[in-house]
Amino acid sequence: MKRRNFILQSILGSAVLGIFSNSVTAFNLDKSLKNSAMISYKSNIFPLTIATWNFPNASKRAGELLAEGATALDAVEQGVMVEEADIRNTTVGKGGAPDRDGNVTLDACIMSPSGDAGAVVYLKYTSHAASVARKVMEETPHVMLAGEGADLFAIQQGFEKEELFTEGSKLAYQEWLKKKEYKPIINIENHDTIGMLCIDKNGDIAGACTSSGLSYKINGRVGDSPIIGSGLFLDNEVGGAVATGMGEAIMKSVGSFLIVELMRQGQSPQDACEEAINRIIKANPNFKEFQAAFIAVNKKGEIGSHCIQKGFSYVKYQDGKNENIPSSYNF
Ligand code: ASP
């Protein structure tokens, strides 16, 4: 690259970064450069919400809050709460499918723009697992609470004790008990774990990932969704990524962390998601038997998404509207 172009690109990059980090005044820009940076801001890239699968009510809730000026962290929490409360959704929150012994257990994590994180695993009595994760992040010196301790903590924090096993999930479980066949279904009901990333008006990013995990898992099994770096990772200087699908494969590749690091090195969100899926395929000879999917966004608002099997999509809420976008895939 010629030196002049390199300098120009660096200045432009800094201008855009300055806008996104709300510190444009720190840069000594000439007027035309300031204007070009302002244009990208006014083009309504931010605020921006993306979420795994087609959860339009959740993304709309987050997107509308962001439009009103909510922080990314508040918006992402409120967004995923919509699905956690929806008992028709058997893969997240209340109404989630149980493990093979009939326990509904929830896993979730949350990350703030500062890089702080909280998580809960094997939560049995509170549907809003991501909110409990936020309390772990904000009210304790720890990152993750599990099982009985997580439930007790939730109650101490004022969460209502709930029965998560609904009539609908009980009926499906009774049916499952007849054969007791454990075979995770690819693209189950065309939705699954909700992983959401929000970028607010200031350009700050937050994320959450919440799930009832794999249906009819072994009692005690925890997936990728609450694991920082696997189900979710973000860095406010770079962007973020979230995952859905076979947690075991995602955990072994630490996929969300990998994607953020690849973006840090200059890869686009799309290329980074493809690389993360390729690594899972390479490491798992049985890759055709399960789904794994990632979505990612960088601080320019560029989005990527890739999965193993056809059928995964993500939802984007931007500029007042939802869009359900099919992901690229390998097979
Ligand atoms: N990743 C979740 C888990 O393994 C489930 C899913 O998203 O399908 O628990």
Per-residue pLDDT of the chain in tens (331 residues, 90 and over written 9): 333 333 334 334 444 443 333 332 222 333 333 333 333 344 479 999 999 999 999 999 999 999 999 999 999 999 999 999 999 888 999 999 999 999 999 999 999 999 999 999 999 999 999 999 999 999 999 999 999 999 999 999 999 999 999 999 999 999 999 999 887 777 765 558 999 999 999 999 999 999 999 999 999 999 999 999 999 999 999 999 999 999 999 999 999 999 999 999 999 999 999 999 999 999 999 999 999 999 999 999 999 999 999 999 999 999 999 999 999 999 9
Closest to 47 measured CA to CA, from 195, 202, 194: 202
Atom from ligand 1 closest to the CA of residue 247: 4
Helical residues (DSSP H) of 180-241, grouped into ranges: none
Q: Whose CA is nearest to atom 4 of ligand 1?
A: 247
Q: Are 178 and 59 in contact (CB under 8 A)?
A: no
| Neighbouring residues of 165: CB distance < 8 A, sequence distance ≥ 6 | 98, 102, 103, 104
pLDDT recorded at residue 322: 98
Q: Is the CB of 244 under 6 A from ligand 1?
A: yes
pLDDT for position 35: 35
Find out whether the beta carbon of 284 lies less than 6 Å from any atom of ligand 1.
Answer: no
Q: Judge whether 194 and 210 are in contact, CB under 8 Å.
A: yes
pLDDT value of position 183: 76
Residue nearest to atom 9 of ligand 1 (CA): 213
- What's the 192 CA to ligand 1 centre distance in angstroms? 7
**Distance between CA 297 and CA 15 in Å, rounded?**
19
Chain centroid to CA 269: 14
Is 193 labeled as catalytic in the residue annotation?
yes
* Planar angle of CA 236, 119, 182, nearest 5 degrees: 120
User: Rounded to an integer, what distance in angstroms lies between the CA atom of residue 271 and that of residue 249?
Assistant: 19
Q: In what order do the strands lie in the sheet with 292-298?
A: 232-235, 239-245, 292-298, 303-307, 328-329
Cβ 215 under 6 angstroms from ligand 1: no
Shortest-distance atom of ligand 1 to CA 213: 9
CA dihedral 307, 78, 261, 21 (to 10 degrees): 130
What is the best residue among 216, 221, 244, 309 to mutate for testing ligand 1's pocket, by most ligand atoms within 8 Å of CB?
Answer: 244
Cite the DSSP H helix spans in the chain.
Answer: 3-20, 31-42, 56-67, 72-85, 129-139, 147-156, 167-179, 247-253, 255-264, 269-283
As given in the structure block, the two tokens for residue 170 are 């009980």
DSSP notation for 251-283:
HHHTHHHHHHHHHHTT--HHHHHHHHHHHHHHH
Query: Could you give the CA distance from residue 94 to residue 173 in angstroms, rounded to a whole number?
Result: 15
- Select which of 71, 193, 210, 244 is catalytic: 193
C-alpha to C-alpha distance for 316 and 301, rounded to whole angstroms: 11
Residue of the nearest CA to atom 6 in ligand 1? 245
pTM score of the predicted model: 0.87
* Single-letter amino acid code for the residue at 251: M
Q: 157 CA to middle of ligand 1, Å?
A: 27
Which residue in the block uniquely carries the two structure tokens 């075979």? 183
Does ligand 1 have an atom closer than 6 angstroms to the CB of 313?
no
Q: Which residue has the tokens 């690389």?
A: 275
Closest ligand 1 atom number to CA of residue 193: 7
CATH architecture of the domain formed by 48-329: 4-Layer Sandwich (3.60)
